[in-house]
Structure 1
Amino acid sequence: MRKTTFTTRLPLQCTTLLLLLCHLPTVHAATDKAVSKTQIEVKGLKQAAEIVVDQWGVPHIYAKSEDDVFLAQGFNAARDRLFQIDLWRRRGLGQLSEVFGQAYLEQDRAARLFLYRGDMKKEWAAYGKQSQRLTQQFVTGINAYVHYLNQHPEQLPPEFKALNYRPALWQAEDVVKIRSHGLTRNLTSEVNRAKMACAGDLALDEVRQRLSPTWQTKLPEGLDPCLPDEVLRQFTLATQNVPFSAAITPIAKLSAEAEENRLAKLEINDSDKMEGSNNWVISPGKSATGRAMMANDPHRAYSAPSLRYITHLSAPGLDVIGAGEPALPGISIGHNGSIAFGLTIMSIDQEDLYVYDIQPDKPQNYRYQGKWVEMQKRTEVFKLNSGATMESDLFFTRHGPVIYFDTKKNKAYAVRTGWLEPGMAPYFGSVDYMRAKNFTEFKKAMLHWGAPTENQVYADTKGNIGWVPGGLTPIRPNWDGLLPVPGDGRYEWAGFLSGDKLPSSYNPEKGWFASANELNLPEDYPYRERKIGFEWPHNARYQRIADVLSQDKKVSLEDSMRLQNDILSLPAERLIRLLTAIPEASLLNQEQAKRAIQILSAWDRQENADSAAAALYQYWYSQSLGPQYKDLMLGQKSYLVTTLPDLTSMLKNLEAQDAFPPQFGDSVDQAKHRRDQLLITSLVSAYQQLEKRLGAQTQQWRWGDLQKTLFAHPFSPLLDSKGKAQYDVGPLPRGGSANSVNQSSYRLQDFVQINGPSFRVVVDVGNWDNSKAMNAPGQSGDPANPHYRDLATPWAKGEYFPLLYSRKAVEAAAKQIIELRPISRK
């Protein structure tokens, strides 16, 4: 057995890919043929169960006990999404190199730094008394399907054949030990803010991220803000997806500049980054149905298959339907026949980077409270696909895993994060709240919710609606969590904020409640003392939702579906108002500027895929105005911000009447002139670039010719064009933007949409069969299955399908019935 520090990565050898390309499945459209029936004997099942798959690919699972329904859920998740969940497990547990080779050792090592390693009794207890049992049943079901494939190898998903490995068997602990798949908070932001402080002006970080509520951070005493370039390398590796490539670049050999460029390609066009979502609940008095209503469209990264999976679980004492992550038992968004629930992210800060002085001759010792303390060492064994094994030492301080040693400066860096505490497995806490029957039970379950930090909306059959945020919230007595801090004992968490210290709402007078990740703390909330978080996305999506729901009319299900697909841009309205207010004298001899302003001023601000004005506006904002504004504000320090500038801050400064930032000039007149010139020159530049890209005929420009949605399969980079056509879904022309309700965040370099609402649901509370849903590109993870891509086009059109709940309605829409039987004794 060898020990290594994993400083090199080798190319992935994928010679068996040719097997896949020679036997690509043919994708067939769904037909109206009669219901197909299959019987399968399932190891571990106590009594017969049934999976009824409706015409949209939703499995409705019926069993005679909870034990059997969760076993059947695991079996079905493997049946439909085995490669996806197997890859999720291997990535999270740090077992990629076991099947893909030494190229993945560094990512494996990074993943193991962030596994939960605490008391498993406390872990299971945090989710409720039934959590361990149902998880054991769930993984027993997954394993039963793996055993089934051993007997029917011809049904092995093609990805396993192509990559030449077999799916693994699961343990219940695997589900909750993996923490690195959740949405992380502000660790990256801390490091970016430290870069600005290192460059000499911490206040300029507002260009990157405006702090809200009103707050001014300061450099923690004793902190050297000049951090190593690769300080977050291990954290990034631990939380990223699996990078498949025919020839993976050895990351250890990348220069700091190359690594920065690599990460910059992942950035999108707003400070929202890879998080978002909308939800709202409507009271019966505001609802056109006379019943409560719940709507939710979480925004996550796009892939094929999709991140979420719709499932219906029905057994005595439990009848829930909705979406969850396919590798987890239960559901997290949907209803249980009594209440409906939906989530968005709330910006509670759960992460901190600690900086330590280490002993020069003993770098495993760090200074804490005036003494040298030895780090905890854990030796991990990694299996390779060659059959060999390798070892590596992981180190931990009292705060968490050590992610970087800087022996030149005698510093070490570790991460403390709430999501390594007991009960913090991302989304798993839903196994408790999905059973609630009223607001009291729901709120009690949410008091213990850990991660990710969320706004949960609630509606029930009695007409009650509510809002309950949840998330483990560190108490920082003497700092705000916005910058790294010395790990010498002066900056310690003083426990966690009790869940009932977060705000909530029950039956608000206005008859509705909504959240869209915006700053939603009440005006009288004591945020200066509790300091739960100061980094919130722009509020444009919420403002548009509020504008619609506040209208003096009752809201129908159709209204909610239209609102989820709404593509009106409120930031565009504000920026165009500035353009049209520019004095005519400033536009002399600016014919292209006049034409561009004419196009935008005549626009209805709807970012339709076929809109020429939307193409011009988004190109102007993301490719020209944003970068030029950033250069104006930061000058030679502009390179420190790799994203577009914070939209809230930029709009505030551009709209200033007499309080422009000093970068705009010494007087108000000078500032207004420089502002106007920035708008004009950036608009002309965008107009000229679009002429080259889309042609001189502006009426033929289309936003959808730029922005495309691509649901890419994980190993798409390994495939030729024929293979991509089988495994990828898209590209599809796409409307909307990062700040429309129908959210669409795209990569700056090619306008490919990388996250947004692939799953949507609108629940008619009490008339359950009248609820609507969508899950793009489809329910199945098998490219040969019609349900792999059948929902992509309807999704792009803003369409929905019925989220059926009653047994009668489900059976009427059934296309496939899978009868699960206990293994017969012979």
Structure 2
Amino acid sequence: MIKAIFNTQQWRLSAVVTATLAASLLSSGCIERATNSTQLVKQAQVEIVRDQYGVPHIYAEDNYGVFFGYGYAVAQDRLFQMDMLRRSALGTVAEVLGEQYFEFDKFIRSSYDSRSVPAQIAKLSPRDKRILQGYADGINRHLQNIRKSPDTLTPIEYIEFDFEPTDWTIVDVAMLFTGPLAHRFSDGNTELDNLQFLQALESQHGKETAWKIFSASKWLYDSQSPTTVPTATTNSPEAIVNPPRPAYLSQLSEQAAGSKLSSYMPTKDGLPIISHGDSNSAIMDTFARRGTSGTPGFASASNLWAVNGPRSKGAKGSLINGPQFGWTSPSYVYGIALHGGDFDVTGNTLLFSPNLLFAHNNHIGWGSTAGFGDQVDIFEEQLNPKNPEQYMHKGHYRPFESWQETINIKGQQARTITVRRSVHGMVETIKPEQNIAYSRARTWDGKEIDTLLAWIELATVKDINKVNAVLDRIATNINFYVIDKNGNLLYRHGGHYPRRNPLHDTRFPVPGTGELDWQGIRSGSESPSVLNPKTNYLVNWNNRPARGWASPDMWWLTWGRGDRANILIDEITAVEALTPEQSWNINQRASYADVNREYLLPYLQAALANQTLSKLESQAYAALMNWDGYWWDKNEDGKFDGAAPLIFESWLSQLLQATLKDDVGEEFFKRFSATGHPTSESTGSINLQPGTKALIRNLDELRSGTAPIYDFFNGVASAEVLQQAFATSVAQLAEQLGEDITLWHALPAAMVYHNKNYRGIPQALDDAQYQSEVIQNRGSENNLFIAKGTHIEAWDVFGPGQSAFISPQGERSPHHSDQLELFASFGKKKMPFLRKDIVNPQLETLMIGSKK
């Protein structure tokens, strides 16, 4: 059941709108005037045909025209959302929302070099500039229309927040990619938080034991972890499982500040939390309550599965993608089709980035998931005690590169801050009292725009064998998947990675004095890849790309045998072949599947074998053994079906306390205590949590007879601990709920479509939120590409809907939430490729200046 959190009436558009605005073009400023030093400008036509779900299909004669139409349509649908995204990426939120966002803007300005993107754009070819300029000019055309008819066209959010939209530049358009893709999905790093954890363990246990505990909870390699590149196709050896404690750690500050975070706690009045590390109580409480699979408050995840050859039935192949950007209102997904110039493509993309993330051109279709490769390192700079604006590097003190950033604040005087950059990257923290600073090195720094343009170019490639040459340019760590019309499948782990000193332990920061500097950047072609795997399937749920590929430094993501990707692998390998529809239906089961059960229940079963159980314990055990492993609420009574989900969750929670809490300590146990179940609100993804993964690894080692790196059971027989945790959890449930096990039910957390973006910045009004009663562990959108031999057939769905427009009178676009029920029921809508296949077309015609 879907609930809407609003009380306004629905808006109805006229069926056909035709607007010709040629007369005001040259005076508008949107189109460059022709001079003796510029190319001629001629009139050209752009047609925007919206389908029954409001998705715009753009028709124009050149690249400028199709991207003009793209920008224009996005502005009609999502202007306020994209405006706040622009401001989130640039650090200009306080200018329109006030002083309470100053710290956020300061964080953005000091974290990312504001000079970089404009400098990259200045070097673009005229062709590439025209693409981005067309997008900006299209937005600005709609802004002209708003200024002419503010009483009907102004999005209500501007009225409520009391500011006006401003014109867009090429740089602004580029930030629609740079913020959500590079900053969000390729900038993860918790090296300082890891160091804090290790130092706390050393205070509690001493260095030797502390290193064992740390390595048992945050490892780099695991030969049992599922990989997207089949293990048999790679010759990469596994590295040492438990490397020794790096000697250079003794050179680092013993008072390490944690990683500087911008995070959002999804409460009605919540502001972004800027904190040194996850020691902030609100952040830690969130970890303990719901776990995490990304920046606190936001998931960074995705899944994909594809089959071809003997595993595909009724088609040459099929590919299903589910990017888990989060559930928000407006959606993080925007549907679009571009037909003209070099482009003949339909699909959808993250927010409204100029590059299409999930699309096809009738020859190849492509998708992506977050790759989580380790592209970012923290360097601890040693400051000059006599001059904190200098730092030691290669034997001498050198000055930081520094400049002033002015932050405008609504209703107040502007404030100026100093930002710094070292040879390693932007200085995110400076602590003169400790004579240290922390710099963040990023392999993709300075490559954002070429990455964007390579991704745009991908839409023009029609031969799967030519895809890798384009992907070589993409610097951010995104997994790419391609299917062509003949069913060929390609996987490529995208991104550029550093060549590190062999002494560098990637889980920790390193001294910035020069000895452990990067030794270069690896080519994108060196990343894991496979064309037509012999298994005839590809699967990824943010799992390990290939054997020999290390886990990232983030403490919340470590690859091991316990991995939710196995849910998808088991589904595919359970049958000989799948039709596209059968493959699509995997999504529903995967969305409700327990991510922990298959790894832990066999251990409990073995522990309770031949044990004498009480009557109530026997009933609870029988419920677990008869459980199908899904968190269903089929009768929609607001409770999960049966007692088993609650029993399992309670037992796992008790087991984590019994094993890890005394070892990791009270403070840091909040990182490990969550069970990863849909009983606490999530913002986009459910996953095995760090404590559960460490527990599974420990149990596996004990079962195999291998001495654990560290035994969280502290020498007690694991079966005894599992049995006692089970007895304790059953007793606690009986005390809370009574001894009638039929009344034991876990309660679902609602799946809320929040009105704040991935930085915690408002992107809609509070009453524009929606919610579904049960969390679905699935993509923010799902798309299906079917290889038909002669062409590609495509379907997709995303909630709430295509448009976010609410008029000044509070009337909503009919496409504000018209996909909610379709999404909740795991339905899908066909994505028309040919114009003749568009259902209920609505046409708008624009006349523009097209540079030739």
TM-score, normalised to structure 1, is: 0.83
Residue 572 of structure 1: how far off its partner (Å): 0.8
Cα distance per residue 1:139-178 (max 9 Å; x no partner)? 1111221222111112111111100011222211233354
Secondary structure class of the residue paired with 1:781: coil
Match of 1:816 among 835, 842, 846: 842
Residue 641 of structure 1: how far off its partner (Å): 3.2
Residue 34 of structure 1: how far off its partner (Å): 8.4
Q: Which residue of structure 1 lines up, in the alignment, with residue 479 of structure 2?
A: 455
C-alpha distance in 2 between matches for 1:473 and 1:346: 12
8 A Cα contact 1:340 1:460, kept in partner: yes
Amino acid at match of 2:523: S
Amino acid at match of 1:324: T
Secondary structure class of the residue paired with 1:513: strand
Residue 380 of structure 1: how far off its partner (Å): 0.9
Amino acid at match of 1:37: V
Cα distance per residue 1:750-788 (max 9 Å; x no partner)? xxxxxx411000111347674221111211122512222
Q: Which residue of structure 2 lines up, in the alignment, with residue 652 of structure 1?
A: 697
How do 1:16-415 residues align onto structure 2 when only pairs under 5 Å count? 25-27=8-10, 35-39=15-19, 41=21, 43=25, 44=30, 46-117=43-114, 123-124=120-121, 130-154=127-151, 155-176=153-174, 178-179=178-179, 181-200=183-202, 201-206=210-215, 208-213=217-222, 215-217=241-243, 218-221=245-248, 223=250, 228=255, 230-233=257-260, 236-237=261-262, 240=263, 259-262=280-283, 264-265=285-286, 269=290, 272-273=293-294, 274-386=299-411, 388-415=413-440
Q: Which residue of structure 2 lines up, in the alignment, with residue 730 of structure 1?
A: 771
C-alpha distance in 2 between matches for 1:530 and 1:160: 40
How do 1:258-657 residues align onto structure 2 when only pairs under 5 Å count? 259-262=280-283, 264-265=285-286, 269=290, 272-273=293-294, 274-386=299-411, 388-423=413-448, 429-451=454-476, 453-478=477-502, 479-522=504-547, 525=548, 535-536=558-559, 540-567=563-590, 568-569=593-594, 571-583=596-608, 587-588=612-613, 590-610=614-634, 611-613=641-643, 615-616=645-646, 619-620=649-650, 623-635=653-665, 638-639=668-669, 641=671, 644=674, 645-655=690-700, 656-657=702-703
Q: Which residue of structure 2 lines up, in the alignment, with residue 14 of structure 1?
A: none
Residue 728 of structure 1: how far off its partner (Å): 0.7
C-alpha distance in 2 between matches for 1:80 and 1:484: 43
Secondary structure class of the residue paired with 2:607: coil
C-alpha distance in 2 between matches for 1:591 and 1:71: 70
Q: Which residue of structure 1 lines up, in the alignment, with residue 34 of structure 2?
A: none
Q: 1:625 to 1:471 in 2, by over 3 A?
A: same
Residue 317 of structure 1: how far off its partner (Å): 3.2
Cα distance per residue 1:625-650 (max 9 Å; x no partner)? 43443215435564473664343321
8 A Cα contact 2:321 2:779, kept in partner: no
Match of 1:711 among 753, 762, 773: 753
8 A Cα contact 1:271 1:537, kept in partner: no
Q: Which residue of structure 2 lines up, in the alignment, with residue 18 of structure 1?
A: none
Alignment partner of 1:774 is 2:794: no
8 A Cα contact 2:85 2:757, kept in partner: no
Q: 1:820 to 1:624 in 2, by over 3 A?
A: farther
C-alpha distance in 2 between matches for 1:529 and 1:816: 49
Q: 1:278 to 1:257 in 2, by over 3 A?
A: closer
Q: Which residue of structure 2 lines up, in the alignment, with residue 760 of structure 1?
A: 782
C-alpha distance in 1 between matches for 2:129 and 2:849: 24
8 A Cα contact 1:81 1:326, kept in partner: no
Cα distance per residue 1:41-81 (max 9 Å; x no partner)? 37558422222222223221122222111011011111111
Cα distance per residue 1:681-716 (max 9 Å; x no partner)? 245445655x3xxx876545555x422200011299
Q: Which residue of structure 2 lines up, in the alignment, with residue 8 of structure 1?
A: none
8 A Cα contact 1:423 1:429, kept in partner: no
C-alpha distance in 1 between matches for 2:707 and 2:731: 23
Q: 1:290 to 1:671 in 2, by over 3 A?
A: closer
Residue 454 of structure 1: how far off its partner (Å): 2.0
8 A Cα contact 1:182 1:426, kept in partner: no
Q: 1:169 to 1:325 in 2, by over 3 A?
A: farther
Amino acid at match of 1:649: A
Secondary structure class of the residue paired with 2:631: coil
Please say which of residues 107-116 and 390-399 is displaced more in the overlay: 107-116
C-alpha distance in 2 between matches for 1:580 and 1:91: 50
Amino acid at match of 1:786: P
- Which runs of 5 or more structure 1 residues have no equivalent in the other structure? 1-20, 736-742, 744-755
Secondary structure class of the residue paired with 1:182: helix
Task: Tell me how large the CA RMSD over aligned residues is.
Answer: 3.7
Amino acid at match of 2:67: F
TM-score, normalised to structure 2, is: 0.81
C-alpha distance in 2 between matches for 1:511 and 1:701: 43
8 A Cα contact 1:53 1:815, kept in partner: yes
Q: 1:474 to 1:723 in 2, by over 3 A?
A: closer
Secondary structure class of the residue paired with 2:405: strand
Amino acid at match of 1:647: T
C-alpha distance in 1 between matches for 2:343 and 2:332: 24
C-alpha distance in 1 between matches for 2:351 and 2:599: 41
Match of 2:833 among 805, 816, 819: 805
Q: 1:715 to 1:540 in 2, by over 3 A?
A: closer
C-alpha distance in 1 between matches for 2:242 and 2:124: 37
Q: 1:411 to 1:277 in 2, by over 3 A?
A: same
Cα distance per residue 1:499-527 (max 9 Å; x no partner)? 221221112233222222212314xx5x5
C-alpha distance in 2 between matches for 1:256 and 1:95: 24
Amino acid at match of 1:817: L
8 A Cα contact 1:198 1:225, kept in partner: no
8 A Cα contact 2:311 2:537, kept in partner: yes
Q: 1:631 to 1:609 in 2, by over 3 A?
A: same
8 A Cα contact 1:404 1:414, kept in partner: yes
Amino acid at match of 2:486: K
